[in-house]
Amino acid sequence: MSELYHECGIAAVYHLPNRDPSPLTPLGDPEKTSQLISRLLLDIQNRGQLAAGMTTFNPGRNQLIDTHKDVGTVTEVFQLNHQQTFNSLMKKYEGPAAIGHVRYATCGKDDRSYAQPFERHHIQKSKWFSFGFNGQLANYQELCKEILTESDFHLARETDTEILMHLISQELSKENPAELFDMLTTLSKRLDGAYNIVFLDALGNMFVSRDPVGLRPLCYAFDGSLFAAASESVALANMGFEAEQIKSLPPGCAIVIQDGELTIREYSKPTQKAHCFFEWIYFANVCSTLDDQSVYITRKRLGEELAEQETVPIDEDTIVVPVPDTAKAAADSMAYTLRVPCLEGLIRNRYIGRTFIEGANRKDKVRAKYTPLPEVLEGKRVLLVEDTIVRSTTMKALISQLKERGRAKEVHVRVACPPIIAPCFYGIDMSTINELFAPKFLNGGEMSPEVEEAMAEAIGADTLKYLPKASIARAVGLPGSSLCQACIDTTYPTESGRQLYQIAVENSLNDNGEEAHRTYDVTLSSSPVRS
């Protein structure tokens, strides 16, 4: 859905010395390895469009590590449409190692100071570092208060990335700083939530780590002298790595490159795995494979699940229409199973950014983003397939457009996901409970035909059907016990997540009609953090 956004994505590249040269290194020159970051980030642009950046390492320049970042897409920040400017930028920042980041914010402002990577300068090379972060710390407020109990400590930004920077700085500033693996072990005891990290220091040391719960995906690959990592496998595949070279980093593990030597090791023993199921059904690129499970195959199976529970009469006027773009695989599969056409009755304008229509009302935004085709829709019984419904405002406007402009005879909404009933505190920008569409109809109960009928009436659909929760594990191909499904069943995999949900429930019960805030905004408002 256009109402739902991910927090960010990370990437890293390193030319390892004393290994067979990789043909994937640009022009065979180790110094140009850093150029690969822009390519990696472009392939994970789906994970964040607000800002992008990279930090590179080069022992032959005064700025041993140096950071380029700004607000904008990868194309804008790295000047990909202006070859001369891009080449100059790559020359300035060339080096054998680099990390990168794309950002969408669940907290914090949309300005350059919040763009990542975050770099911390220091005269001592081991304490001069930069890092990028994918996820969200559910115990952000607790860590804020802990840091600010020291009178000479200060937080300049309202973001958990700065919290993480302070914690890393503290570990590196100890009289006898721990090895990077041990530092991660220490940090893991203080952090709650999702926190995949790419790190690079002025000694040329790097680590790539995945949190012990494994909420967010992280993939890596080797080819001779070239090491690369990214939030999604598609970025590595498009760089030229073979499928067998690309692997998912297990939860609680890190890859550390120190003194040119690479080691993969567990830094924290996972007590529970909780891969975010939304990665497969919505966020990840359909070409990616995460934790050995294909995103495309998952969505194909979701479509088959939708087809199996279909009850609307199927005739020559019945068509399946996906809401572009992430629902297309499920819609194609559903239509194939039902033996009806899957047609693009809605065309999405891919050249309109979110900011362009920020001031418009929801109906105007939908009109600008989607164009219904009456030559496809007129007089048809439309099975409209969507990934999920969050607040329902976009869906309501879409149905109106399909009937008014598209002249569809009927619109039956089919959601390739169970109802969203709770916010996410691990890196997905979701509403408060009272803003979500489903809870007000379910009221703590189970889905029933009567509830679905009331939901359909509320959004102007002829009928509405969701998938049951059991469909998710079957489609992903992993046990339900290894998936985070908190937004559909309120079972949060970490202690701070459970605490935040209780706050969210209390806020929903005490709602006085004022403008709603996300739970982590509300809880942080009582903290002394200032921007």
Active site (annotated) includes residue 8: yes
Element (H, E) at 474: helix 470-476
By C-alpha distance, which of 129, 135, 115 is closest to 53?
Answer: 115
SS3 331: helix
Which residues, other chains included, contact 497 with Cβ-Cβ below 8 Å and sequence gap of 6+?
138, 192, 193, 425, 426, 486
Round to whole Å and give the CA distance between 133 and 523.
22
| Pairing outcome for strands 219-223 and 246-248 | antiparallel
Angle at 413 between CA 408 and CA 415, to 5 degrees: 150
Which residues, other chains included, contact 192 with Cβ-Cβ below 8 Å and sequence gap of 6+?
137, 138, 139, 494, 495, 496, 497
Cα four-point dihedral sign 58, 61, 67, 68: negative
Find the catalytic residue in 8, 107, 144, 417: 8
Round to whole Å and give the CA distance between 361 and 119.
39
SS3 17: coil
Round to whole Å and give the CA distance between 502 and 422.
11
> HSE-up of 266 (CA within 13 Å, CB side)?
10
**122 in Cβ contact with 128 (< 8 Å):** yes
Round to whole Å and give the CA distance between 123 and 476.
48
The DSSP 8-state label assigned to residue 378 in this structure reads B
By C-alpha distance, which of 450, 455, 425 is closest to 438?
Answer: 455
SS3 429: strand
Which residues, other chains included, contact 507 with Cβ-Cβ below 8 Å and sequence gap of 6+?
432, 433, 434, 519, 522
In the numeric block, which tokens belong to residue 54?
């990279």
In the numeric block, which tokens belong to residue 409?
């005879």
User: Nearest 5°: phi and psi at 192?
Assistant: -130, 125
SS3 369: helix
Round to whole Å and give the CA distance between 6 and 230.
15
Cα 288 to Cα 106, 219, 281, 319, 471: the distances in Å are 24, 10, 12, 28, 20
Element (H, E) at 413: strand 410-415
Round to whole Å and give the CA distance between 467 and 417.
5
Q: Active-site positions?
A: 8
